[in-house]
């Protein structure tokens, strides 16, 4: 089979500049820049920031369709949902009991903390077979740790976009120190989860 004649079916893309790609198309408010570009290139487009290609989807319908497809196939199949039913029911009962106790003693309820612990317990019981609440992993620093991990993993580095010089900027702005700190905390957390 001759593969040379095949072209990848890539989304439309604005013209790119050498080295920086489409970075010059981003203004002070990237979401507004994406909106303007999508009006010209369509709801699904390919942008390149440095050397990293990004597919930008500005259509809620297209995004929801893809999420629904992945969710139905991988997460919410009938068999998988039913296999963890007892965990969900137990955690909901525990959450309701906790809220009921707070109400009966006229204690204020921090719903953010309750929902966070509720979600953590379901994930922990499904993943590790143990309760999150009451374990030595359940502490006040856990929520901060999760948010720190999300922020460090959710972004992209200068080195990713500019491989030969970007690492200098990442060193100067403290990205590497943050990354090492979060990695150490993540490693410690998983070690504790496995040991228990």
pLDDT digit string, tens, across residues 79-120: 777 888 888 888 899 889 988 988 888 888 888 778 877 877
Domain co-membership, 144 together with 167 = yes
194 vs 55, more confident: 55
DSSP H helix total and E strand total for the chain: 9, 2
- Whole-angstrom CA distances from 49 to 12, 27, 53, 54 are 15, 13, 6, 7
CB atoms inside a 10 Å sphere around CB 91: 21
Domain boundary among 122, 137, 152: 137
- Say if residues 14 and 45 touch (Cβ distance below 8 Å): yes
Domain co-membership, 14 together with 72 = yes
Residue 97 covered by a domain: yes
Residue 72 covered by a domain: yes
Report the run of H or E that residue 40 belongs to, with start and end. Answer: helix 30-41
Asked if residue 34 has pLDDT above 70, the reply is: yes
- Say if residues 34 and 58 touch (Cβ distance below 8 Å): yes
Residues 6+ apart with CB under 8 A from 58: 34, 35, 38, 43, 44, 45
Residue 191 covered by a domain: yes
Domain range for 45: 10-76
Write down the pTM of the prediction. Answer: 0.44
């Amino acid at each position: 089979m001759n593969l040379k004649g095949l072209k990848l079916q890539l989304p439309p893309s604005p013209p790119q500049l050498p080295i920086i790609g489409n970075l010059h198309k981003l203004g002070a408010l990237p979401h507004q820049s994406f909106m303007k570009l999508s009006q010209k290139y369509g709801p699904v487009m390919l942008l390149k920031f440095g050397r990293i290609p990004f597919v930008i989807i500005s259509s809620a319908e297209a995004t929801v369709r893809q999420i629904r497809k992945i969710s139905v196939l991988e997460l919410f199949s009938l068999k998988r949902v039913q296999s963890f039913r007892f965990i969900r029911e137990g955690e909901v009962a525990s959450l309701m009991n906790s809220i009921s106790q707070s109400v009966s003693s006229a204690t204020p309820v921090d719903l953010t903390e309750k929902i966070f612990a509720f979600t953590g317990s379901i994930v922990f019981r499904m993943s590790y077979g143990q309760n999150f609440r009451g374990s030595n992993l359940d502490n006040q620093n856990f929520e901060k740790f999760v948010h720190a991990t999300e922020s460090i993993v959710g972004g992209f580095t200068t080195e990713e976009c500019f491989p030969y010089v970007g690492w200098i900027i990442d060193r100067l702005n403290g990205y590497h120190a943050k990354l090492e700190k979060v990695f150490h905390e993540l490693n410690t957390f998983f070690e504790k989860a496995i040991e228990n």
